[in-house]
Structure 1
Amino acid sequence: MFFFLLNLALSDMGMICTTVPKAMHNSLWDTRNISYSGCAAQVFFFAFFIASEFAFLTVMCYDRYVSICKPLHYGTLLGSKACAHMAAAAWTSGFLNALLHTANTFSLPLCHGNALGQFFCEIPKILKLSCSHSKLREVWLLAVTFCLAFGCFVFIVFSYVQIFRAVLRIPSEQGRHKAFSTCLPHLAVLSLFLCTDTFAHLKPSSISSPSLDLALSVLYSVVSPALNPLIYSLRNQQLKESLRKA
């Protein structure tokens, strides 16, 4: 679990470092400029880290499923080699996703100006600047990515159904509480990530506005990854005691 938490923390830190430093620089210097290559780099790294984040949340769900539903097989199914392979697969999937989206997005001619109306370079905002029919390729690529993400979501839901069924069969209340306390931080992080990201990209156009788009983007690209370490740290008894005293 801690091995996957380390990788999740690295992806969280990467997401924040991709967007926040440039936004702070622009705010301090009272400018809203970013170079074309800088924008491409932002798109690549943000797509890389956000895809890797979702992959690690899916892998961590499998880790919770094995530890609760098949505890006697945990060492066999999730040995050090298996964990390394799953981590490598998560990072690789994020890299390939970012490479495809970045190459496809920046191969489109941008002819509707160069104002994104966002504090970082975001693919949907860039697509609005294109007047090329070839942007359908990127729309299809986004659709394929959404289908893969939906497949991961179905796997997560199925896993947690099995987990809760196994937990409710535990005879002792202390055992059930321990199992639930293991799952709740992961569920909280997963829900925060999915809800903010999904609503930001699938909200109805009737309620869309520049200020709402900006707030939602900050929520899923900065606030959500920044809160993840805190949510997991709340299982630490010393930290909870310190918070109570404070």
Structure 2
Amino acid sequence: MASIPGITLNNGITMPQLGFGVFQVPDEETTAAVSTALESGYRSIDTAAIYGNERGVGRALASSGIARDELFVTTKLWNADQGYDTTLTAFDASLDKLGLDHVDLYLIHWPTPARDLYRDTWRALEKLLADGRTRAIGVSNFQPAHLQRLLESTSVVPVVNQVELHPGLQQTALREFHARHGIVTEAWSPLAQGALLADPAITSIAAGHGRTPAQVVLRWHLQLGNVVIPKSVTPDRIRENLALFDFALTAEEMAAIAALDRGLRTGPDPDALN
């Protein structure tokens, strides 16, 4: 079983660098997918209230036989629940569905700037952190301007910002902002939903290593220092996405992938979604 390296967050706790995501997995399929992931060696599971599959995640965690302190569970607050009191209520609902007494990481899912509630929402996350109901708090899909505004009103720096990030959208300026402020970059849609896996630069590197294009892209993420959470419901693919720690990309191969950046978004624009 692969040994997954950990990333130390700015509050001192450690998060597995490779996790398992369940975006767009129906609740009734989630339990089997997460169970396969846990059996394969994943220990970090990423879900969200809006995914509608927190109960499925909870069932898999409960039946896994894995000690709670060996697991790292992330969920996220949906946009409609932003605001101080509504955040606390939504967190209670997520915890109930997961069947847990705490989560390891709780994220604001989107900044939704037109609502202008993310600072009040962050105060609620600070309370959840202080009360020991989550071990860490962070954000998702925040742009530098959103982060800067948040940092000006809090002493608790987000531990992570989970954003769309892949070779076609490398978010260089955002990653540099994160590095300056001790925020870990976490990548969702790390494979751009397959959009880049046939690119000659990636297929050539994959052939040279005897790996799949997906494994090469995930390895690229790891070598950049990103936390990455690939999603699959196919057992073979779930295991394949974990087989990343017995090869490495060269500096030249990393540079070839870096040249693929072209501002390719597969998801919403964080400045526009509300």
Q: TM-score, normalized by length of structure 1? A: 0.23
Which structure: greater strand fraction? 2
Which structure: greater helix fraction? 1
Q: Which has the higher contact order (CA 8 A, sep 6+)?
A: 1
The structure having more radius of gyration, on CA atoms, is: 1
Q: TM-score, normalized by length of structure 2? A: 0.21
